[in-house]
Structure 1
């Protein structure tokens, strides 16, 4: 039973990572009335998040792996950025739920040594 719960938590982490990219893109496409700015932000924000995660946070041998407090800061900025993007685009409840899911996921990863 615990093995299944750990698997569900790992899957939740993956979906939260995808959620950050969605949130950044959604925010970008709602940021302005100007089409060019919306396109730039809507495509650029997720690209920036992808680049940061690929370098520092990827699960399989990132070029600059972070551990300890540095990893905590990365995750708080990454997932907090996703939640903030949802709130900034007007999806306050969704952003709040997203942040809460991340906190639950992070606590369970610590307790179950999934970090």
Structure 2
């Protein structure tokens, strides 16, 4: 394997790991937002679980690399925009506006990179 091929493979691996971490962070942000917005231990925990659970089910059904249903790329990106956008709004709603902007920017760049090379792999 050439040095360039090894570097390309490492770049892809780093971006895949980052994509996974961003997905986990999105679910966590939604759960925390639901907990805080729910106001009480029982209601907050239930709301946090429902919001994060709904996002996880939607993601697993349509947006995950091994999603249950194969849908067009536009639909995958729409689901990602919904989940990540909701997570960014949740982070902002928790009072961390600057962090929400950083999260959204990182998601945009990572999604563009990952989508680019996954699309290239499917076309070959």
The verdict on a shared fold, with TM-score over 0.5 as the criterion, is yes
Root-mean-square deviation (CA, aligned residues, Å) is 1.5
- Counterpart Cα distance in 2 of 1:36 and 1:95: 27
Matched, 1:96 2:95: no
Please give the per-residue CA displacement for 1:53-78, whole angstroms capped at 9, x wherever unaligned: 12112222x23222221111111111
**Counterparts of residues 1-115 of structure 1 (less than 5 Å):** 1-60=7-66, 62-111=67-116, 113-115=117-119
Structure with the higher fraction of residues in helix conformation: 2
Q: What TM-score results when the alignment is normalised by the length of structure 1?
A: 0.87
1:104 Cα deviation from its structure 2 partner: 0.9
Structure 1 unaligned blocks of 5 or more: none
- Counterpart Cα distance in 2 of 1:58 and 1:33: 31
Answer 1 or 2: higher relative contact order, Cα 8 Å, separation at least 6.
1
Larger radius of gyration between Structure 1 and Structure 2: 2
Runs of 4 or more consecutive aligned structure 1 residues displaced over 6 Å after TM superposition: none
Counterpart contact for 2:38–2:45, Cα < 8 Å: no
Q: The residue matched to 1:66 in structure 2 has which SS?
A: coil
